[in-house]
Structure formats: C-alpha cells, structure tokens
Structure 1
C-alpha cells in the first residue's frame, strides 16, 4: 500500500552537525528515497566534543541537493523551549508540511560519577534529550495534516539492556524516551502517525576509531567482527520512515549487530 502516492515527502532530521554522524547518514539515506530533507544542527556542542569543522553542515546541504532533492537546514539550540515551534515554522515556510521526524540530536558530553551529580548538570541533559525531543514530537504531530504516512523515529541508546556506570544523566533522560515512544505511539496512531525508537548500539562516528585500543576491544566482543557504522542505523531508520513500515509502531528496536 503506497500511502504517500502523489505527494512529495519531507523529513526533519535533528543533530546533523557532523558528516560522520548518524544524523548526516540518515539524511543521505532519505535523499536516496527522494525524500526532501530539513536538517538541524548545533555546532557549539559538537565543536566542543568532537572538534567538528564549521563547514560540515554547508557541505552536507550541498551534497544532499546534488542528490536531486530539496534541502534546507537550520542551526538551532534544542535546549530552548521555543525551538520546537521555531523549527516547524521554518520547515513549513521553506519546504512544506513534513511527514517524517527523526529525533537524532542528543546531549552527552562527559562521564559523571553519581556523587558529582547536581541539578544544573541534570537540567542540561533533560533540556535536550527529553524536553527537546518531546516538544518537537508533539509539535510535529499537532501540525500533521495528512491522514496517513506520519513517522516519528527517536534515537535511543540501549540503556534498558544493562548498567552504564558514569552515565546517569544520559541514560535517565534517554530512558524516558523509550517510555515516551510507546505512549505517544498509542496517542497518535489515529492521526496516521507511527512512533518508534532505534537503538543502534555502539556506532563509530569517529569516537571509537580515535581510540585504537577501545576499537580492538569492541571488535573482539562483536559477533560480526566489526563495529556499527552510521549507515547501519540509517538503513533501519529509512525503512521505518517508508510506506513498508506503516504497521510498525510503539517499538524500541535494538539494532546492535548482536553486540
């Protein structure tokens, strides 16, 4: 069943500052499906964490347009309460009404032992990982004007599968997205929107290959003898965004290569 026959689909993808990241790979995979893309990025976070180059978002924009789609982008701080409405306003003005939302952006910049936690630190994680994702999802669903074909896809981190010492702010706020996914899926199904979450497992967006010892340790534990790549996650997300996935909703999919 081709629920989107006759109209061009538009996707919003957050967290695409880095060309090696999952967000950028998702954009490329959607472009291959001839989905128009509106991506957001926030360089301050990735420059501090990865040393990301300033020109990377512009290069991604150019490369996506060369794939024959319409593409626009916006630098925006998802920790601000007004960002969800601002993003949706810009998408509608520049491209039209989106039918796909990929919540890829996340905040995680350190290891924090439990005895160093404080309210200010917790709030920095909550503002992006929980509030930013929830508000954007709700705004997307509120404005969705089609009868079928809506897709919300959240990125999660396998925090339900075991302990992650030193990551309480991150795993707590990302764990909330698992619960949010299941309940939002039930609430918006009647509006023609599916809601799912993808846990891509350890994915080498640069941080693993930068540490040869860590890389070898992880490969030794990997059933397929390799580490996950951004394209692995992107293929699954592109499938969930497609017409073929219209019967899948409320799921937390652990696509970790058996790791």
Structure 2
C-alpha cells in the first residue's frame, strides 16, 4: 500500500516503547522509510534496542537526544539527520510538553515551558524543514503535526497545554497555504485519548463507554493515519486537522 521507500522520516518525541512516537516509527519503517527519531530523558538501553529493532525492517535508523526547549534545537536536529541520512522528506512533530495547571496555578514559567516545546520547536522545525526542502530536488514533502482535540471540547486543568496545542492547529492551516507551491503538504492528527501507558484500569473503565467503537485508542491507530498522510495517496490533503478518535463522545 502506502510505500515510503527511499524517504527519510524525522519523528520527534520518541521516548518510550508504548508511545505514539514509537508506533509511528515502526509503521513508517514497515513501509520502507528510513527513520531518524529524537528523544529526551529516555533509558539509553531502550534507545539502542529500539534503534536496532527498527533496522530489522530493512531501513536505516538514527537518533538524537535533544531538549526541544532549547531555541537552537530545531536547527541542530535537522543538521544531524541531514548529515547522517540526507534531507528528510517527512517531518512528524510528535514531541509535547504537558503538566497540569488550572487557573489557580497557571504562571509565566508554566506557559513558557509549554510554549518552548509545543509551539516554538514545532514551528521552527517546520519552517527549517521547508527552507531546506525548497533547495532540494525532492518533489514531495510531508509535515504532520500531532494535536490533542483541544478545539472539540474544554480541557480543564490543562490551560497551557490546550492553548499551545491549539496554536498548532492554526499554524498548520496557514503554513499549508505557504508551502503548497513547494509540493509540501501540512496536516495535523488528533488521535484522541490514547493508551500510551498513562491510563490505569480505573481511567479505562471510566472512558470506555465514551468510545462507540468499544475500545480505547491505541498508538497504532495514530500511526496508521500518519503513514497515510505521509504517502503519495494523501497528496491532495493539506491544511487539515484530522480528528481520528474512534467517535469519542465528549460531555
């Protein structure tokens, strides 16, 4: 199906086995893409094992530990992947910062911490990717951002997270118009509530009735959609936020 042979994919925020980032790496690798992933604070043994396992798909794989809150990180990441594998054709902005706040706790530092990773790193990675792509002979590029359904309902206690993730949706739409003439599509994926290891059994029991499809979301759900958006079959889709939530019912 959606073969990605010969394309280099850069995926941020791949820090543990059960995450959406790891699932995206595996799915893109299974379709032939070379993988370069970023991580931060992960166990070194896990990173090495994950890299080796990804290579078993018959693709190249590299990684970089980087704090995306560093203003220079986006440039450094693209320098690293280009030096090791060549210019990426696919960028998946999956990394995110999230802490609880609420109106009684929200302060400048909390806002800045969320802004640095969720907005600044995503925005600067995207535009630097496009600038380099513009100078390359590659015919097609893909930018895929991860959002969190913040436009579909309130997220009490997560004001900074919801606001900065909401900015990604707005950025996706405007950037898509600028980059379309370059052959780059820009889309966002909202995977809805996904069991990446943070859900205990009580949480699962509470939210399961809100899924008409009778199961909680898993990382592979998001990975399949990202792989489609990265493929040639999705060349006519740009500027969209795809809410792939299994019909999740809010309220």
TM-score range, shorter chain: over 0.9
1:100 maps to what in 2? 90
- Distance in 2 (CA, whole Å) between partners of 1:17 and 1:224 is 29
- Distance in 2 (CA, whole Å) between partners of 1:138 and 1:172 is 21
Q: Using the TM superposition, give the Cα deviation of residue 227 of structure 1 relative to its aligned residue in structure 2, in angstroms.
A: 0.3
- Distance in 2 (CA, whole Å) between partners of 1:64 and 1:3 is 16
1:13 maps to what in 2? 11
The reply on whether 1:172 has 2:163 as its aligned counterpart is yes
Query: Does the CA contact (< 8 Å) of 2:18 and 2:196 recur in 1?
Result: yes
Q: Using the TM superposition, give the Cα deviation of residue 146 of structure 1 relative to its aligned residue in structure 2, in angstroms.
A: 3.3
Which structure 2 residue ranges, 5 or more long, are not aligned? none
1:64 maps to what in 2? 54
2:224 maps to what in 1? 235
Alignment RMSD (CA, Å):
1.5
Q: Using the TM superposition, give the Cα deviation of residue 148 of structure 1 relative to its aligned residue in structure 2, in angstroms.
A: 2.4
Query: Does the CA contact (< 8 Å) of 1:195 and 1:249 recur in 2?
Result: yes
Residue-by-residue CA offset, 1:94-121 (whole Å, 9 max, x unaligned): 000110000000001x321212111111
2:213 to 221, 224, 233: 224
Q: Using the TM superposition, give the Cα deviation of residue 147 of structure 1 relative to its aligned residue in structure 2, in angstroms.
A: 4.9
The reply on whether 1:193 has 2:191 as its aligned counterpart is no
1:35 maps to what in 2? 33
Residue-by-residue CA offset, 1:63-120 (whole Å, 9 max, x unaligned): 0011110110000010111011101111111000110000000001x32121211111
Aligned residue-pair number: 245
1:153 to 144, 160, 163: 144
Query: Does the CA contact (< 8 Å) of 1:29 and 1:235 recur in 2?
Result: yes
Q: Using the TM superposition, give the Cα deviation of residue 221 of structure 1 relative to its aligned residue in structure 2, in angstroms.
A: 1.6
TM superposition outliers: structure 1 runs of 4+ over 3 Å = none
Residue-by-residue CA offset, 1:208-248 (whole Å, 9 max, x unaligned): 1xx21111111122101100000000000000000110110
TM-score (norm 1): 0.92
